[in-house]
Structure 1
Amino acid sequence: MDLIPTPDQVVSAAANVATRVVYGGIADLRPMPRTLIDEGTLREVHHYRPVAHVRDVGDPVLLVTPLAAPALCYDLRRGCSLVEHLVDAGRPTYLVEYGAVSFRDRSLGIEHWVDDVVPAAIRAVSAHAGGRPVHLVGWSLGGIFALLAAAADASLPVASIAVLGAPFDVRQVPLVAPLRPLLDLTAGHRLITRIYQAAGAAPQPLVRWAFQLSSFQKLVTKPLALARNLDDADYLAQIEAVDRFMANMIAYPGRTFGQLYHRLLKANALVEGTFELDGRTLSVGDITVPVLVFGGASDGIAPIGAVKALVPLLTGSPEVRFEIVPGGHLGMLTGRGARTATWPVIDAWVDEWSVPTDDAGTAAAEKEASIGANPKRRYGSAGSRALRR
């Protein structure tokens, strides 16, 4: 809105304020309809129902939710929902989420998600989609879970992996550097360890505060930004949807939080591409499917350098592509700019590495055709492979 608003801006701003007062908000927060197809301990796999007159065709897409963040990250609001975008395009769309974490889940570690939750979800989705291979899309820690699950079990029916905002070198995360002296200071006293062990989890308010801290500047300037954009209904709707997302953060199980804190935050364990888990060494170099890596141009939680560190580690992948897109940590996935930047790239990637529907044979043949080279892909791979040199 201009410093001296135009009459049209005043009318739009008044209408937006009235809508918020009368109806309680501007955003259309209705979730996309879905059906539960599989469940287990902290595992719910959902299939999003196709829209009228659009039939699910092609390989399925499985959205892998990170811990602590709600599945709203993929279905933020109507008009700015990756789920809605995929379903409207006729893609078989699925999501795995984990539900509320309680004290009884305190003993669950990262291996629960890497060895159980994500593999079980992949197999359930493939079976539900008629035995077709699955394209994984994972945001933040969800991307790391997807990569480690694929590295741990090459037999999983995975067609490709797309990861968004997944940091593999936390030394390049600005928020971590100021905490280093504190981490070193408390190391001998095990203060943080005692806190999360006693609580059984990293509580929801702490998780929400950490996420807000990464966008502290936006948090401080939010009232001014709202005032400047009172005439922009889409902007106000996005703010409402993000506020709801923040209010629904979920706790981390105690043991998982401990692993993330000690191995990823303090030891930077992923920087070499390996991760010790339950007596095994998992390596992302063992991944044998194409991988697409996204970095957010203004991501404060997983800046470009921290994310791009993954690219040269994917030595076994037939194609690796790195894309920088507008937005912060959440914005790169489901911000208003993602509609024209991130989502079209995901569309092209899934099309490139999908088995053509009219050529589909048996499930085994589909899997074999989807892993490795796809002779009918629409883009060359020379530029992507050059990233690994």
Structure 2
Amino acid sequence: MASSARTSGEADLALTERLRVEVERAVQRGLKGMELLGAEPPAVGRTPKSVLHRRGTLELVHYHALTDEVYRIPLLIVMAPTNRGYVMDLAPGQSLIEFLLRRGYDVYMMDWHAPRPAERDLGLADYVLDFIPDCIRRVQQDSGETDVNLVSYCAGGMLSLIYLALHPDSPVRNIACFTTPIDFSRMELFRAMADEKAFDVDAFVQKHGLVPAEVVLSGFDALRPAARVAGQIRLWDNLWNDQFVSGFRMMERWGNETLPLPGAYFRDTVKQLLRGNELFKGTLKVRGRPVDLKQVTIPLLHIAAQYDHIVPPACSAPLLDMIGSTDKEEVTLPGGHVSIAAGANAVKRMWPRLDAWLEGRSV
């Protein structure tokens, strides 16, 4: 009987403690919810840097070293034109940029801003034959080194590979890319939205010039229609948790600041990649020049995200077979399209893996 009473008493105490915790969290939710109303957007991209070059939509930055000595070969990060680069530099302790700097890398980034109306005619060719090689030259001049390494994210990886295929004598010595689209037939919903029977891309570009950010964002949202609602529910459940709220708001800001696109680049993407799947088929031409990924012969690391809903692993899987490199590796890590690069799991998984691969290739 005593044992039974003791068990009952312990259960009552446990229930009381749970109720107390839930009441405290409910109070915190209310207080935090009031604080968030009208709050300023969270600060992001705080790692010190200098702007080396700015031309319309393009911004080339150089991050300030955090170590007395740096690796010889500078590192140029190539972002996708739809996204701001600060996802790699959310906050101290949550920044891939800061991590790389503390590991001794000399880090540059090709970041993007909203294109100007006069840039409506920028196409795929402008990114791979102008922006990327121009930035590589500027990194060489600023660093005093001939060799350059690339780290490229999502469509930034695709653009970097096309650039490398068209420049077999490039000074790029190594490339690490993650969530890189290659076989666009695997991006089924995007292909359905771009179907020529339902969407006249020429008329759309002619009318708008620049593709509004809302159109780009709606395409991503369509892949997971309930994601925003689910995100708000998670936020409410965790309003008592300052760390969760801070991380959520930074990622929400980044998602909301998705960039518009030059109309010509959007048209090239729809016609040549989504509809024609020309990169995968080997029929892609840029200003009449054939793009043969076998011309990419430098060491390559590709990191795929196991739960990527934007670039599923099957979309990037053909990459290793298609390039001509002998030193090549693909790693699939748990995570989604964004969490593979930013967030708590990235800190533990992707960042150390990237560092281990780059370390011996940066001297």
2:279 to 262, 265, 270: 270
Deviation at 1:278, TM superposition (A): 0.2
The residue aligned with 2:358 is 350
Contact 1:196 1:254 in 2 (8 A): yes
Take 1:156 and 1:12, find their aligned partners in 2: how far apart are those partners? 58
The residue aligned with 1:304 is 313
Q: Percent of aligned positions with the same letter in both sequences?
A: 24
Whichever residue aligns with residue 37 of structure 1, its letter is: L
* Most deviating of 112-121 and 153-162: 153-162
Give per-residue Cα distances to partners, 1:85-125, cap 9 Å, x unaligned: 11222211100123221221111111111011111111211
Deviation at 1:77, TM superposition (A): 2.9
Take 1:205 and 1:354, find their aligned partners in 2: how far apart are those partners? 39
1:1-389 correspondence runs (5 A): 4=18, 7=21, 10=24, 14=28, 17-18=31-32, 21=35, 24=39, 29-40=44-55, 42-51=57-66, 54-176=68-190, 178-179=192-193, 183-186=195-198, 191-273=200-282, 275-314=284-323, 316-355=324-363
The residue aligned with 1:366 is none
Q: Determine which structure has more spread, i.e. the larger CA radius of gyration.
A: 2
Give per-residue Cα distances to partners, 1:164-218, cap 9 Å, x unaligned: 11111122224236547xx1423xxx72320122211211111122222333332
Take 2:20 and 2:103, find their aligned partners in 1: how far apart are those partners? 38
Deviation at 1:340, TM superposition (A): 0.9
Runs (5+) with no aligned partner, structure 2: 1-14
Q: TM-score, normalised by structure 2?
A: 0.87
Take 1:4 and 1:282, find their aligned partners in 2: how far apart are those partners? 61
Contact 1:295 1:324 in 2 (8 A): yes
Number of residue pairs aligned between Structure 1 and Structure 2: 347
Residues 41, 344 of structure 1: CA spacing in aligned structure 2 closer, same or farther, 3 A cutoff? same
Whichever residue aligns with residue 327 of structure 1, its letter is: G
Q: TM-score, normalised by structure 1?
A: 0.81
Residues 220, 184 of structure 1: CA spacing in aligned structure 2 closer, same or farther, 3 A cutoff? same
Contact 2:76 2:150 in 1 (8 A): yes
Take 1:155 and 1:16, find their aligned partners in 2: how far apart are those partners? 60
Take 2:26 and 2:77, find their aligned partners in 1: how far apart are those partners? 36
Runs of 4+ displaced beyond 6 Å: none
Whichever residue aligns with residue 36 of structure 1, its letter is: V
Deviation at 1:41, TM superposition (A): 5.0
Q: Secondary structure at the match of 1:205?
A: helix
**What value does the CA root-mean-square deviation take over the aligned residues?**
2.7
Take 2:306 and 2:322, find their aligned partners in 1: how far apart are those partners? 21
Deviation at 1:58, TM superposition (A): 3.1
Residues 12, 47 of structure 1: CA spacing in aligned structure 2 closer, same or farther, 3 A cutoff? farther
